[in-house]
Structure 1
Amino acid sequence: MEEDDDEASKDNDEVVGLAMTDRAEEDAHNVAARLLPQQAQWIEEQEHLKRSLVQRDHFLWKYVPGNDIISTVSGDKHVEDNSLHYVGGVDLSFCKEDPSLACGALIVLEMPRLKVVYKDFDIVHLDLPYIPGFLAFRESPVLLELLRKMRMHKPALFPQLLMVDGNGILHPRGFGLASHLGVLADIPTIGIGKNVGILYCYK
């Protein structure tokens, strides 16, 4: 009798599992169908923002490896010495159990000591799923808000260069998350893709 119960339980689990899979596929199909018109708008926005993309910039700062100049701050403004003082990094990490739950983080290091001078994070719920080619529309609002808060509260430490967990011009339309973020935040960015060991610098 117990064996029969176990078999029945396994059968029920399989049925439930198949039903959940069918439901997930149906939900994914519904999301995709709903987003098709939205994707056309996103492509148009990407092409519009791309016109402001600067791939070769003339920075006011320079970085010399081994340079031991320590940044100097007077009030809320840097004492200009044409050095690269602050480099930031941003990323989003997602919960394995709930892919809509994410933590966005911003870290700023002082160069060349690599000392952490600023860090912030935000826990968010994202309704938009990951769609290849449109990562910026899912993640950039969270990262832009972290940068906005820093500009408001710690402008003297705001990064001169931002490293982004995502591609920039290495993108189907040449305008990935790093480029998107750089244009909207008006900051030079370096896009770092997980699967390709090449760095691109752009603003």
Structure 2
Amino acid sequence: MPWSWVQKADNNSEWLSAKIKEWTIQQETWKQQLLLEPEDLSSTVDMERLFETFPMIGGLDITPDKEQDDIAYVGIVVLSSKSLQVKYCQTHCVKLQVPYVPGFLGFREAPALINAVECLKREKVDCFPQVLLVDGNGILHPRGFGSACQVGLSLNLPTIGVAKSLLSVDGLNTLQIKEQICEEGKRWLPLLGSSNRVLGAALLSNECVKRPIFVSVGYRIKLLEAINLVFHTCRYRIPEPIRIADKISRQASSRDFC
């Protein structure tokens, strides 16, 4: 544990309690800026129009260092949304400022993800994406504001949260959802919590996949658009922008990039 965190850990319960209160207020405040609109999940999406709106699609993932808690490696990838041809691929070694606290992952990881996108804009603006897939959650989150929302709001860029596992949110049950999607033979199911709000969707990304991924709106995009983009970019279980970003960040973590 870094020395700054060790110092805080001496009064850990007080420090952590204060941070959680601060972060909770921040998430609730930021959530009001998402401007979510009612979803019509029975409509259809014009993929050609979607490709015109989002000609480049980015992916972000982060891998922690195996030995140092405050070091991680961000993978950022940009693909042509229609052809899925890789246009940009880079890793960044970053220093994380706060420890991991469940439900507040964005405060640990989002600053590093945002910085990677801002570096791309400075270095190669012609590869700047119009939408980002973030390994994490959007509004499918205990307070409706996951790391994908935090990244999108900060950058004012459409974002989609794509998670490999389901958070315990609004009464959603992972096992029940997996059974339902397999029994009904569907490729995706809307995630309706006890509040009867659509929080996202469970997707079986291709015909060989048995475990769903969980997609939710991050910022400035409709859920149905997000679902269609994720399906289009899935050659395997995980959409290509995130799969490649994960791969290169893991490769970086196995070497000394700092």
**Same fold? TM cut 0.5:** yes
CA shift, 1:33, in A, is 2.9
Number of paired residues? 161
Amino acid at match of 2:34: L
The aligned counterpart of 2:65 is 95
The yes-or-no answer on 1:201 pairing with 2:217 is yes
1:99-152 Cα deviation digits (max 9, x unpaired): 322101211001222111112221122241110111111011111111111222
Match of 2:34 among 42, 53, 58: 53
Q: How does 1:15-164 map to 2 (within 5 A)?
A: 30-56=11-37, 64=47, 82-164=52-134
Query: C-alpha distance in 1, partners of 2:130/2:99?
Result: 31
Residue 127 and residue 187 in structure 1: after superposition, are their counterparts in 2 closer, same or farther (change >3 A)? closer
Residue 29 and residue 164 in structure 1: after superposition, are their counterparts in 2 closer, same or farther (change >3 A)? farther
Amino acid at match of 1:47: E
Query: C-alpha distance in 2, partners of 1:178/1:164?
Result: 6
Query: C-alpha distance in 1, partners of 2:141/2:23?
Result: 14
The aligned counterpart of 1:5 is none
- Contact kept, 8 Å, 1:86 with 1:110, in 2: the verdict is yes
Residue 83 and residue 39 in structure 1: after superposition, are their counterparts in 2 closer, same or farther (change >3 A)? closer
- Contact kept, 8 Å, 2:77 with 2:86, in 1: the verdict is yes
1:42-63 Cα deviation digits (max 9, x unpaired): 1111111111113349xxxx86
- TM-score scaled by length of structure 2: 0.56
Calculate percent identity across the aligned residue pairs: 36
- Contact kept, 8 Å, 1:164 with 1:189, in 2: the verdict is yes
The aligned counterpart of 2:143 is 173
Cα root mean square deviation, aligned: 2.6
- Contact kept, 8 Å, 1:151 with 1:158, in 2: the verdict is yes
Amino acid at match of 1:200: S
Larger Rg: 1
- Contact kept, 8 Å, 1:55 with 1:202, in 2: the verdict is no
- Contact kept, 8 Å, 1:128 with 1:138, in 2: the verdict is yes
CA shift, 1:96, in A, is 2.3
Query: C-alpha distance in 2, partners of 1:50/1:131?
Result: 19
Amino acid at match of 1:190: I
CA shift, 1:153, in A, is 2.5
- Structure 1 unaligned segments of length 5 or more: list them: 1-26, 70-80
Query: C-alpha distance in 1, partners of 2:162/2:26?
Result: 22
Query: C-alpha distance in 2, partners of 1:135/1:202?
Result: 14
- TM-score scaled by length of structure 1: 0.70
Residue 172 and residue 181 in structure 1: after superposition, are their counterparts in 2 closer, same or farther (change >3 A)? same
CA shift, 1:29, in A, is 7.3
- Structure 2 unaligned segments of length 5 or more: list them: 1-7, 39-44, 167-212, 220-258
Query: C-alpha distance in 1, partners of 2:80/2:138?
Result: 24
Query: C-alpha distance in 2, partners of 1:125/1:202?
Result: 24
The one of the two structures with greater contact order (alpha-carbon pairs below 8 A, sep at least 6) is 2
The answer to which of 46-55 and 130-139 deviates more is 46-55
3-state SS of the aligned residue for 1:180? helix
- Contact kept, 8 Å, 1:63 with 1:84, in 2: the verdict is no
